[in-house]
Amino acid sequence: MQRQCKIYSGENLNYYFVKSIILHSLLKRVSETSRIKI
């Protein structure tokens, strides 16, 4: 049971990490396009 929880938490952290990277890249891209527009 504890092992499953550890594995689950690890996957959850990895998912959050990837999600934050994608969000960061999207925000960067949006800021770049907004700068070009302005």
Check residue 13 and give its pLDDT. 80
Query: What's the CA gap between 23 and 5, in Å, rounded?
Result: 26
pLDDT in tens, 1-38: 566 666 566 777 888 888 999 999 999 998 888 886 65
What is the reported pTM?
A: 0.53
Query: What's the CA gap between 33 and 3, in Å, rounded?
Result: 45
Check residue 22 and give its pLDDT. 94
Give the residue ranges of DSSP H helices in the chain: 2-37
Check residue 7 and give its pLDDT. 57
Classify 32 in phi/psi space as left (phi over 0), alpha (psi -120 to 50) or beta.
Answer: alpha
